Structures are given as structure tokens and as C-alpha cells.
Amino acid sequence: MPTASPRIVPVPDPVPLPTTGTGTGYAPCHHGEILQGVFLDDDGRRCAGLVTLPMAGPGTRAEFTRHPGTAADALTVVPADRTKAARAAALAIAECAARTGLPPCGGALRLTGDIPVGLGMGSSTSDVIAAVRAVADAYGLRMVPGTVARLAVRAERASDPLMLDDGRPVLFAQREGRVLEVLGRALPPLVVVGCALGGGAPVDTLSLPVRDVDAVDAADVRAYERLRTLLRRAVATGDATLLGAVATASARRGRQVLGHPEFDALTAVARRTGAAGVQIAHSGAVAGVLFDPAAPGLRHRVRSCLRALDAHGIPTTRTFTTFTTCTTSTPTCTTTHEGAPEWTSTSRSRSAART
């Protein structure tokens, strides 16, 4: 159950306060889901679960300064509307105080980042994880991913697996903060043409219905489990086409919640340009057309896809890859490879930076 919201006070004029620690934290975003549904855990119990599509670049940075001697709920948060991050910071303060033996105290949390809000890219989870990591750093601690996941779920009811740093694709129980299955070492290589449905209008995720996993039809659970099996095979064999088929099937099922009137146009563009499939955030508007980078004529396919999306009035955002080449250790990078354009932002305007 989410804890009561901490008291968030307006940022006052600077006053001298005793400080003994300032910490920083960072968390990335993702590009929506490859697969989301209801699955069975090792004990045969139903769990809501998801597999996200990683994307390097946008993220949230947090800075937290402890104010010893102040009340534990006296947090100043910038921006002041980041209530989930504030709850996470309060939970992290209690956790860190218990571990260090220091009395809980208030402090100042500042968040900066460039993740578009409400598109289903994990902006709130990124805020929460960055806040937890910044608080821990201010106490001279480093929390393991399992602890961060537990606090994140308590802070925001459900959490994306952005606290996992090893790059392996996982089926993650977002309401419980635990990994149901590690699907393999890495996703098959993909080139993703990102776009935004619904005109890019933000989606209020808290207003979406919470699915009762016990009410899901047994046939639907079996269907999700089949998709899980196929995705596991796609990861094991590096099969981008099979992954695309899984993502498309999952997006088709997820359409029941958000509608997405552009869905048929998006899948038609994917078919005409020889894409492996499409993926759509199940709690937002971000989507992607997935291409196998080994497919012949990739440059032409991607450019044709961009033109077709524009013709359908679907704004494109950025084109990126899910594989690493030579100069970076991140799971996703902007790069050039033979036969393909340089993968850079294709949006006409930058997303407004969050300050």
C-alpha cells in the first residue's frame, strides 16, 4: 500500500541549515513495453508482468541534501509536483536512517531530466529511482536493486524495472517489484523508429483501470504465457522477426485499454516497409516500428517508414538501436552501421526539458 504523502512545502528563501551530506542519483527511461500481460510465477500464482524496451539518452538526475535536526517529513521538492519522488525520498530516508542508526531528518530534493511525461516511457519510475539513489548516496549507502524496487513499488503502486542495471531483458512483476524471469543475455538487435500516438498527448496513468489478475480469463493467461515462451526463444536465438511478432501481438491486446485509433495505420506501415513489427507503451502514447538491422535495404526501409508515418499524421520522435557498437558500454546507443543512416532524433522539436 502506498504510504501517506510527505508534507511538501514551498521552497523557502535560503536559510542556513546544518548539512552533513549531499547525494546524487540517476535513472534512465525506456521506450514502452515489448510484452505486458498476466503471467504465472514459479509457484503458479498469477502476476501482472511486463518486458520493457530499453532506450539510452533521456533520464532523471536527482540531488538530495540532508537537513539534520529537521522533521523527517519536512521535504522540499523541486519541481514541487513530483509527489511520487517525494514519497520515495521519504521511504528512502527511513530506510537509510534505520541502516545507519542516524535519526530520520528532512532535506531538499531536486530533480532534473528530459524524459517526456505521460508517454509511457517510465518518467515517474525514473524520478522515483533517482530520488532513492540520491538519498542513499547522501547517507553514504548504495541500495541493491531489490531494495530500490521494493521502495519504488511502495512509492508509486507499480514500477518499471529501471533499477536493474545489467542490461538483461526480464519479465518484471511491476506491482510486486520482482523479476519473474530473466529472458536471456540481451534482446535481439533492433532498429526502432520511435513515434507518438494520440498526437503525443500525455496519459494519466493513475486514471487507468487496475487490472484484477484473478479476473483475467484463463485462455488469456495461456495466450500471454505463449507470448512469453516465444519471446524467450527470440532472445535465445537473436530473432528480431519473432520478437516483432510478440511485440505486435502484445500491442494488439494492450489496445483494449487505450484504444489507439492509429494502431491499424501503424501496423500497415510496418507491413509495407518490411518491419519486424511494432511495440506500443501499454500506459502511454509512445510507440515504435521495429526493424531487423540485418534486413537488406535497411536505409530505404527506415526512410520509407518515416515518410509513411508522416503521411498518416503520426509524429516521429527518434530512431535508435538496441545494440552497442564499439565505443560505448550502454545497452542502447546512437550509432552508424553499414547500409543504415546515422540514428539521430527525427523529431521536429525537442521535448520540453523537465526542470
Q: What is the mean pLDDT of residues 284-305?
A: 95
Condensed to tens digits (0 to 9), the pLDDT of residues 152-195 reads: 999 999 999 999 988 899 999 999 999 999 999 999 999 999 99
Condensed to tens digits (0 to 9), the pLDDT of residues 9-65 reads: 444 444 443 445 899 999 999 999 999 999 999 999 999 999 999 998 899 999 999
Q: Answer whether residue 119 shows pLDDT above 90.
A: no
Give Cα 4 distance to the centre of its chain.
24
What per-residue confidence (pLDDT) applies to 118? 81
Q: Which alpha helices (H) appear in 63-182, and where do they start and end? A: 83-100, 123-138, 145-156
What per-residue confidence (pLDDT) applies to 6? 53
Give Cα 5 distance to the centre of its chain.
23
> Based on C-alpha coordinates, what's the Rg of the chain?
21
Q: How far apart are CA 282 and CA 48, in angstroms?
A: 12
Q: To 10 degrees, the CA torsion angle through 34, 211, 226, 234?
A: 10
Measured in residues, the chain has a length of 355
Condensed to tens digits (0 to 9), the pLDDT of residues 239-288 reads: 999 999 999 999 999 876 666 789 999 999 999 999 999 999 987 889 99
Q: What rounded mean pLDDT belongs to the chain? A: 85
Q: How far apart are CA 292 and CA 189, in angstroms?
A: 7
What per-residue confidence (pLDDT) applies to 332? 35
What per-residue confidence (pLDDT) applies to 258? 65
More confident residue, 355 or 259: 259
C-beta of residue 92 within 8 angstroms of C-beta of residue 136: yes
Mutual orientation of helices 123-138 and 83-100 as an angle, nearest 10°? 30
Q: Residue 323: which of 115, 120, 56, 59 has the closest Cα?
A: 56
What per-residue confidence (pLDDT) applies to 17? 39
Condensed to tens digits (0 to 9), the pLDDT of residues 71-97 reads: 988 999 999 999 999 999 999 999 999
What per-residue confidence (pLDDT) applies to 10? 45
Q: Answer whether residue 334 shows pLDDT above 60.
A: no
